[in-house]
Amino acid sequence: MRSSLRLWPLHWTWLLALILLFCAVCAPLLAPYDPQTGVLSERLMPPFWLPGGEYAHLLGTDVLGRDILSRLLFGARISLLVAIMSVLLAGLVGSVVGVAAGYLGGWVDTLLMRIVDLAISLPMILIALLVGVLVGPSLSNIVVIIGLMLWSLFARMARNETLRVKTYPYVDLARTAGCPGWRIALEHLLPNIAGPLIVLATLQTGTVIIMESALSFLGVGVPPPTPAWGSMIADGRSYVLSAWWICIFPGLAILITVMTANLLGDRFAASLDRARESIRS
């Protein structure tokens, strides 16, 4: 799978990523209409290239007459915001736990890793769905829920990398010089394990987008009328045959975004592998 992904040109990957980021950041400037306001007289209008479509609504409208293009652009903001914040939260918690387990070792390592094993074994989407139902749908809740579902992956990666890095001579020299453990972790361990964690964060971005879309589709994600790709698909599931554009376009947006995140993660992983091979040689 990785070798096939590397066939995709690097400049196209970065171009896709920049386009998605630009659309998300500049959504208020790019969107032709308010994504939460519709005109019932223009409901279920098809895309402009189909009979009955108009250039005023390039991708058509939904059942409430809201512009699909505008909702896609604002939905990109929600998906990328949730992805970035959730991955940052998961990376922060997981890195602290993993570095502590790998550096301290002993019973601390055993205890923390058993907690990590338990967290990894839990079905993430089901737990997120249950917690989302209990605490209610909101943007902040979905960020915390998804972040706490993914921290164990970062903890396992950080622990493995810490076990590798802490055997290096400069860590022994810092310990011999009397540096406290927290300073060794911040100045010597974290900078040298950041590469694999960045690769993992990039790869998990696509997972977070899928989870957020699934939760929004099930009604426990970002609450309406805020546009989210998952809720847009849910709105159009009853009109798949008569108004396919309501759910097809947000589905394509999810596909392209997740593919771009995976391609970037693969590129970062390839760069990290080449750097390690050059160091060994």
189-207 pLDDT, tens digit per residue, is 888 888 888 888 988 888 8
Q: What's the token pair of residue 74?
A: 């604002």
Query: What are the φ/ψ torsions at residue 138 (nearest 5 degrees)?
Result: -165, 160
pLDDT recorded at residue 217: 87
Query: How far from chain centre, in Å, is Cα 161?
Result: 22
- The whole-number average pLDDT for the span 104-115 is 89
Q: Which amino acid is at 195?
A: G
In the predicted structure, residue 121 carries a pLDDT above the cut 60: yes
Q: Is 43 left (phi over 0), alpha (psi -120 to 50) or beta?
A: beta
> Can you tell me whether residue 61 is helix, strand or coil?
strand
Whole-model pTM: value is: 0.85
| CATH number, residue 85 | 1.10.3720.10
Q: Which amino acid is at 157?
A: M
d(CA 104, CA 83): 31
Q: Is the four-CA dihedral 128, 134, 139, 141 of positive or negative sign?
A: negative
245-255 pLDDT, tens digit per residue, is 999 999 999 99
d(CA 272, CA 88): 20
pLDDT recorded at residue 40: 87
Q: Which amino acid is at 86?
A: S
> Can you tell me whether residue 67 is helix, strand or coil?
strand
Query: How far from chain centre, in Å, is Cα 217?
Result: 16
What is the span of the domain harbouring residue 243? 2-280
d(CA 221, CA 247): 17
Q: Which residues contact 35 (CB under 8 A, 6 or more apart)?
A: 66, 67, 70, 71, 73, 74, 75, 227
Among 8-22, 122-136, 220-234, top mean pLDDT goes to 220-234
- The whole-number average pLDDT for the span 200-227 is 86
Residue among 161, 252, 253, 148 at smallest CA distance from 198: 161
Domain count for the chain, please give it. Answer: 1
In the predicted structure, residue 172 carries a pLDDT above the cut 60: yes
